[in-house]
Amino acid sequence: MPAAHVFLPGRDAAPTPLERYLPPLPAGVVSAWLNARLQPGDWVLDPFGAAPLVALEAARAGYRVAVAAGNPVAQFLLEFRARAVSADELRGALAELAAARRGDERLETALLELYSTSCPACGAQQPAEAFIWAREAEAPHAKLLDCKACGAAGEYETDATDQQRARGYQRSGPHLARALQRIAPPGDPDRQHAEDALQGYLPRAVYALVMVINRVEGMQLSAQEHDLVTALLLSACDRATSLWAHPGGRLRPRQLSAPAQFREYNLWHEMERSIALWAEDGPAVPVMRWPEPPPAGGISLFEGPLREMQGLKKAPIKAALAALPRPNQAFWTLCALWAGWLWGAEAIGPFAAVLRRKRYDWAWHTEALHAAMSVLEGSLAADTPFFGMVCEVEEGFNAAAMAAANLAGFRLEGMAMRRDQGQLQLDWRKGAAPARAADTGPQAVARAGRALLAARGEPSHFLHLQAAGLGELSRRLHLGGAAKVPGELFAEARQMIEAGLQDQAFARLGGTPQSQETGAWWLHDPGQTRSPLADRVEIAVVRHLLRRPGADLETIDRTLCGVFPGLLTPPVTLVEAALHSYGEQQDGLWRISAADSPAARRDDLQEMRQLLARLGGRLGYSVQGETPLEWRDAAGELVLAFYPIASAVLGELLLAAGTPPAHSAVVLPGRRSRLALEKLGRDPRLTASQEAGWRFLKFRHVRRLAGTQKLDAQTFGDLIDLDPLTLEEAQTPLL
């Protein structure tokens, strides 16, 4: 496999406009990668322009950034956010829009009137926050209301007036014609495709948007004011779609089809709320038009695809980096609509092609990525690094990215993945991989998979094995396959992965034959595998707390990613569970808790052995050993074997103990509950051990049992399981 890349964890990015369509890239990743490799002022290139955060973060870190963006909405997002507009400026623009006249009334009043309803509690008329629709319904069945008159708030059934008002808007008339005219005038070959795309909006939503757009065109606005209003309108265009599921969730729509239940939002209120998303706290970034060079800490934007970007070789590009785009029919189609509505049909330009395509498969996406990467390869000097970020890992996306890059002439030098965050980081360099190979593709995949599982020491997800296999194939020209066409190479790579994982060395734990991504993968003969990764992560966290007290979560996480690089990168949930199990936090800084100092835990373990020994004697059992401490009956038969531990290092204990699971119990601090549950949930072997009968007793419960009067074997059996592992550290005593 290629060398392990140290995963760059980043931090949660601030909410941004349209973020559910954009690659979910953590903040800090781009600047960390650049700062480790380049000097401020160097040129870097984003060949896709799919995520504004990439260019903005690179520029704010002091680099000159060239960006190719063929999507007009992506261009606007980048330019607008680079200006670092304040919330006050946006509020001023919205106030000016509110005061614009529509006939005899203010535009704000006219727009809010579209959503007027009566409060079911007091009867006051006011605008609803949203109406709730069922897909294919003729009218909404519920509404969300926050009554300013009586304080009633929540979801209520719509009345006959609400439903009649909603039915009054039709998929015809001047507003619809106007909406279509701005995208594809009559006679345009894309007219029918535009009509199909408009099915993603309710008629009332189209009416509201056209009302505002028409009024904006009649206002005398400066270029700056027009952009401010356009930003708010873009949010309204997004919130007006029928793609907002109810109840809400982290839905990232891929297709332009409504959920079973969806919300029709009050667009005026949504523009008000969007101010917080568009306001930018960071410093402004100068944006030039390509090929005008920006200053250090600036952006040169090319409004078009990379293949049309002339003069790249004249710019001394030192690195390329990108959040790789994921195919999204919904977003790309909507961007064509929004560009036409906000800037006119001519602004859509060649991007109108997205209106014609309804489905995108991974073979097609491999071809699209390869086309851009081939242009990129031809524009860079030999050995130029290229950092690719797949921000929504899945089987097809991972394979498409790695097949496209390999075929385009980039060799993979390192990778790291954090599956729980959906992040795959790929370090490429310009220069084809060698053609020679000592074994076949499937054999290489099997070898890489066995090595990875041995290194992780625990059953792992398919995506880890796929990444290991693809990494090994990436060491070969054309992934070691025969295909020379991107789509065919993608299919061949998938076949090699599937064939490699059919090797008899692998065992499936759970899952279904229909999907390789269900269940977990392990080895029939673990042999000399390492101890479970989860246990090693726990030990590393404790060492960090003891040796480097006073570190924040970001520092600790970054250190752990260095200790466990590549496909060993630990999940965030495991790191956090270990920190909460052993540490205490003050002002955002972690240190070992007093109860978990080594001396305190040694005393606890000694106390547990003494209490269990005395308790066994009270119940009439003979007591033997320390770890395990065994209770045996008069016939010498094992009743219970107790394993007192101060940690949650369960792997080797549960899997290698010599006592029967139904007669075995781990005795551990109550603070380990969350961490123990995290491990039991991630490792099917440990889950099976628990289901086979392993018990878990907390220190506090042993103390309660030892202090219980009139305790005999029968009552002990009734009480032993009354304080199970829970996510809560504290639990009301049950005795």
State the pLDDT at residue 730: 40
Structure pTM? 0.94
What is the DSSP annotation of 650-697?
-HHHHHH-SS-GGGEEEEE-GGGHHHHHHHHHH-HHHHHHHHTT-EEE
Phi-psi region of 423 (alpha: psi -120 to 50; beta: other; left: phi over 0): beta
Peptide bond into 247 cis (omega under 30): yes
User: Mind listing the pLDDT tens digit for each residue in 535-549?
Assistant: 999 999 999 999 999
**CA-CA distance, 386 to 624, in Å (whole number)?**
62
State the pLDDT at residue 728: 62
If you ran DSSP here, which 8-state letter would residue 25 be given?
P
Any residues with CB less than 8 A from the CB of 119 and at least 6 apart, and which?
Answer: 125, 126, 145, 147, 149, 150, 152
Q: Tokens 């320390």 correspond to what residue?
A: 626
Any residues with CB less than 8 A from the CB of 694 and at least 6 apart, and which?
Answer: 654, 661, 664, 665, 666
State the pLDDT at residue 735: 41
Q: Which residues of the chain have pLDDT under 70?
A: 1-3, 250, 728-735
State the pLDDT at residue 3: 63
What are the structural domains, with CATH classification, of the chain?
A: 3-84+281-432 (3.40.50.150), 92-202+220-275 (no CATH), 533-596 (1.10.10), 600-719 (no CATH)
State the pLDDT at residue 734: 39
